[in-house]
Amino acid sequence: MGDFSAQRSQQIRKRLDELLPESNSGISSVHEAMRYACLGEGKMVRPTLCLLVHEAAGNPNPALCLDAACAVEMVHCSSLILDDLPSMDDANLRRGQNTTHRQFGVDTAILASVGLLNLAFKVVASCKEGSADARLQIITILNSAIGSDGLIAGQEIDLALFKENEPATDIDTVNWLKTGILFASAAEIGSVAAGASPDVRQAVHRFAGHIGGAFQTIDDLIDKTESVAITGKDANKDDGKTTLVRSAGINQSKLAARRQIEQAFDELSKCNMDSTAIEAYVGKMFSRYIDD
List, for residues 143-193, the tens digit of each pLDDT value: 999 999 999 998 888 887 666 555 545 788 888 999 999 999 999 999 999
Task: Lowest mean pLDDT of 53-67, 203-217, 230-244, name the range.
Answer: 230-244
Structural contact between residues 73 and 34, judged by C-beta atoms closer than 8 angstroms: no
HSE on the CB side for 164, CA within 13 Å? Answer: 9
Residue 246 or 133, more confident: 133
DSSP H helices in the chain:
2-19, 28-38, 45-56, 62-84, 100-104, 106-126, 132-146, 151-160, 168-175, 181-193, 198-225, 228-231, 244-248, 250-268, 276-290
Query: How far is residue 52's CA from residue 41's CA, in Å, rounded to a whole number?
Result: 20
Strand partners, 94: 97
Structural contact between residues 20 and 38, judged by C-beta atoms closer than 8 angstroms: yes
pLDDT higher than threshold 90 for residue 258: yes
Strand partners, 159: none
Maximum distance among all Cα pairs of the chain, rounded to whole angstroms:
52
Residue 7 or 38, more confident: 38
Provide the pLDDT confidence category of residue 227 given band limits of 50, 70 and 90.
Answer: low
Provide the pLDDT confidence category of residue 291 given band limits of 50, 70 and 90.
Answer: low
Kindly give the interhelix angle for 62-84 and 132-146, rounded to the nearest 10 degrees.
Answer: 20
Q: What is the mean pLDDT of the chain?
A: 89
The topology under which CATH files domain 2-290 is: Farnesyl Diphosphate Synthase (1.10.600)
Mean predicted confidence (pLDDT) in 65-72: 98
Q: What is the pLDDT of residues 21-38, one digit of tens each?
A: 988 766 679 999 999 999
The C-alpha R_g of the chain, in whole angstroms, comes to 18
Q: 80: closest CA among 108, 116, 51?
A: 116
Structural contact between residues 101 and 81, judged by C-beta atoms closer than 8 angstroms: yes
Strand partners, 97: 94
pLDDT at 23 (0 to 100): 80
Mean predicted confidence (pLDDT) in 112-125: 97
Q: What is the pLDDT of residues 83-105, one digit of tens each?
A: 999 999 899 999 889 999 999 99
What is the value of pTM for the model shown? 0.92
Q: How far is CA 70 from the centre of its chain?
A: 11
Provide the pLDDT confidence category of residue 1 given band limits of 50, 70 and 90.
Answer: very low
Query: How far is residue 147's CA from residue 87's CA, in Å, rounded to a whole number?
Result: 19
